[in-house]
Amino acid sequence: MAKVRTTLSVDPEVLRAVKLRAAHSGKGESQVIEDALRRDLGLDLLDRLWARADMGEDDAMALAVEAQHASRPKP
């Protein structure tokens, strides 16, 4: 996936923690920040769920339609 360069202003204590985590994990500072953002935004969970998803498209559509019908108010 292509990366986008950006500039952030962060508390010096946060930056120090990022540098320490990067040094201890062997990752770059950018990767440490991206990993933290993905965790906080829930993107890592979505990635793990998609990786485990083994339901076919037809089954997924049927489940989605069933959930939609179940959520509708009954007359």
What was the pLDDT predicted at 46? Answer: 65
* CB-neighbour burial class of residue 8 (10 A; exposed 0-12, middle 13-18, buried 19+): exposed
What was the pLDDT predicted at 62? Answer: 84
Question: Is 45 in contact with 53 (CB distance < 8 Å)?
Answer: no
Q: Where are the domains of the chain?
A: 12-71
**Mean pLDDT split into 10-residue runs, the chain, 75 residues:** 91 98 97 92 73 78 83 78
What was the pLDDT predicted at 63? Answer: 80
**Per the confidence metrics, is the pTM higher than 0.85?**
no
